[in-house]
Chains A and B, each alone.
Chain A
């Protein structure tokens, strides 16, 4: 039998726990919105990057799969068709007039047509695409080895990052173009390619036609779609929000190996 005192004690514990929980949650929310606390939390990202670079470096290889593992339909996420007149005109012409501009800290600035990209040494790989949201899809990618493209343009020694400028605006009014950046470790990695084929067919528009980046040891948002211009830089501080990518500017990690 419950006595009155044990009932009121139970009620007291229940209410105390609920009040304690509410205060804790509100505290966590205000810490999340503060200026300083997310910076403290971001040290976890720095440690992750340092640890993964130490263990994996340039050498570690993303798992490659069999064709029997291919996802029947490769999911399109984010932009499915860029809201951009210039891009739509290129797409209407089968990307015959597409030119990939390469600029910045290089010896030979130049532009590549799709045929020229296809003429570069290529690599084909069946890999798993891991979205930051949590899902994965497996696709077969063929593309120009990024290291071959770097050799063709001659990266200067002071170049530390490669920035990918894309055709897809992220705002409804057609501004805020998607962009991404990787460091030279990933730029020279064997599995880093500018993919133009998916599952033995020309890359569909929903998956980033005519070319998208594959940087297999990182999450999906690093794999920039609709790449229009590539820039080698010493720092990305002055580009857009300064964090090295569209999602990075929204608070996501620059190093997306986790």
Chain B
């Protein structure tokens, strides 16, 4: 693109990678998703079980149930029941460390929750406020990406991309990252991952959140049954939230191994250093 070339820095090695709107919306999204996830775990703690179906009482045991019990000595023991199998998960699930580091009955540990202790009413306030921040930001991002051709130019895989999926998988497994001209573009796995997150996982988690609202369920009675019912929707909401965490972990891992400061600079100032040959983009 000529406009991109025009804003290229005087330093030939620095390349203008992310536009201002993309940078702003990226960081708003980071904050909103983090808060939605951590308040979501707090909300989950009020009923730490996941069911499949229209209600929680259809005669089937929950898919997952996180609980607490006591051992012979009277110590708290966290128990997670997964498809009928009991696992002792003290410290991680069921019985976890509170803000005061003492073991307490809480599905998730305090360092994963906002507020850091069980407080359903407050967690809901945070959750529904940042849900609006997240949805409005996301809609702006999609509109901008279409209008600015960020979507068609940078995110849509080309035919050549699709043919090189196999090579890209091998490159990722060997932690080999593109250099030179190729480093200016997203690689094919990156494109497909971003598209899946933007157009599948995030809309799905929003929709499943809406499916839990009795008011929104009443707009078109029965629409929730498409996803198996309200309790199924709650389960999907939870699973997709963790898939998003998995995405974030891989995303951050890739950022770290392919030049942490270079990527941070490009998501803050927009400028990305292109390495013309070495194997590491940010070698020092």
Partners in one complex: yes
Is A134 a contact of B213 with CB atoms below 8 Å? no
| Interchain CA distance A40-B133 in the complex, whole Å | 13
Does chain A have a CB within 8 A of B131?
A: yes
Among A43, A47, A250, point to the contact of B121 (Cβ < 8 A): A250
- When distances are taken between beta carbons in the complex, the residues of chain A under 8 Å from B121 are 247, 250-252
Known: A28-B116, A252-B124. A137 touches B217 (CB 8 A): no
In the bound assembly, the distance between CA atoms of A45 and B99 in angstroms comes to 28
Chain A residues with Cβ under 8 A from B99's Cβ? 25, 29
Contact of A63 among B43, B124, B132, B221 (CB under 8 A): B221
**Is residue A258 contacting chain B, with contact meaning CB distance below 8 A?**
yes
| Residue of B57, B58, B212 with most chain A CB atoms under a 10 A cut-off | B57
Which of chain A's residues have a CB closer than 8 A to the CB of B214? 62, 128, 130, 216-219, 256-258
| B148 proximal to A (CB < 8 A) | no
The residue of chain A having its C-beta at the shortest distance from the C-beta of B230 within the complex is: A136
A250 nearest in chain B by CB position: B121
Contact of B132 among A44, A60, A137, A252 (CB under 8 A): A44
CB neighbors of A among B200-254 (8 A): 212-219, 221-222, 224, 230-231, 234
* CA A248 to CA B116, docked complex, whole Å: 22
User: In the complex the two chains form, what is the Cα distance from A221 to B218 in whole Å?
Assistant: 18
Q: B129 contacts A41, CB within 8 Å?
A: yes
| A55-B116 in contact (CB<8A) | no
Inter-chain contact A253/B219, CB cutoff 8 Å: no
Please tell me if B144 contacts chain A, counting CB pairs below 8 Å: no
Contact with A218, one of B215, B221, B222 (Cβ below 8 angstroms):
B215
Confirm or deny: A75 has a beta carbon within 8 angstroms of a beta carbon on chain B.
Answer: yes
Q: Is B4 an interface residue (CB 8 A)?
A: no
Please give the number of chain B residues whose Cβ is less than 8 angstroms from any Cβ of chain A in the complex. 47
* Residues A63 and B222 in contact, CB atoms below 8 Å apart: yes
Tell me whether A65 is interfacial, beta carbon within 8 Å: yes
| The residue from A21, A137, A218, A250 contacting B57, defined by CB atoms under 8 A apart | A137
Taking a contact as CB atoms under 8 Å apart, the answer to whether A217 and B218 are in contact is yes
| A:64-109 near B, CB below 8 Å | 64-65, 69, 71-73, 75
Shortest CB–CB separation between residue A1 and chain B, in angstroms? 15
Q: Quick check: B219 and A138 within 8 Å, CB to CB? A: no
Chain A residues within 8 Å of B74, by CB: none
**Is A175 among interface residues, defined by CB-CB distance under 8 A?**
no
Chain A, 33-72, CB within 8 A of any chain B CB: 38, 40-45, 47-48, 52, 55-56, 60-65, 69, 71-72
**A61 and B230: CB pair below 8 A?**
no
| CB-CB nearest in chain B for A53 | B215
CA gap between A23 and B231 in the complex, in Å: 35
- With both chains docked as a complex, state the minimum distance between the C-beta of A173 and any C-beta of chain B, in angstroms: 23
Cα A61 to Cα B220 in complex, Å, equals 8
Interface presence of B46 (CB below 8 A): yes
Which one, B122, B131, B132, B224, contacts A251 given CB within 8 A? B122
Q: Is B163 an interface residue (CB 8 A)?
A: no
In the bound complex, residues from chain B placing their C-beta under 8 Å from that of A60 are 215, 218-219
Whether A134 and B219, one on each chain, are in contact in the complex, defined by CB atoms closer than 8 angstroms, is no
**Residues in A whose Cβ lies below 8 Å from that of B217:** 62-63, 217
With a 10 A CB-CB cut-off, give which of B44, B121, B125, B130 has the most chain A CB atoms.
B125
Say yes or no: is B56 at the interface (Cβ < 8 Å to chain A). Answer: yes
Q: Is A132 interfacial (CB 8 A cutoff)?
A: yes
Q: Does A131 contact B (CB under 8 A)?
A: yes
Give CA–CA (A64, B55) in the complex, Å: 13
Q: Does B8 contact A (CB under 8 A)?
A: no
Least CB distance from B13 to A in Å reads 23
Among A73, A247, A257, residue most surrounded by chain B Cβ atoms (within 10 Å): A257
Is B176 located at the chain interface by the 8 A CB criterion? no
B40-64 interface (Cβ within 8 A of A): 43-44, 46-47, 49, 51, 54-59
Nearest A residue to B58 via CB reads A71
Q: A28-B114, A132-B120 are in contact. Are A45 and B219 (CB under 8 A)?
A: no
**B residues near A62, Cβ cutoff 8 Å:** 214, 217-218, 221
Q: With A130-B230, A131-B47 given, can you name 12 additional A-B contacts, CB distance below 8 Å?
A: A26-B116, A29-B117, A32-B119, A44-B129, A44-B130, A62-B218, A64-B221, A134-B47, A136-B230, A216-B218, A247-B121, A256-B214
Offer 15 A-B interface pairs, CB within 8 angstroms, sorted by A: A25-B114, A28-B114, A28-B126, A44-B128, A60-B215, A63-B224, A69-B55, A138-B55, A217-B217, A218-B215, A219-B214, A250-B121, A251-B122, A257-B215, A258-B215
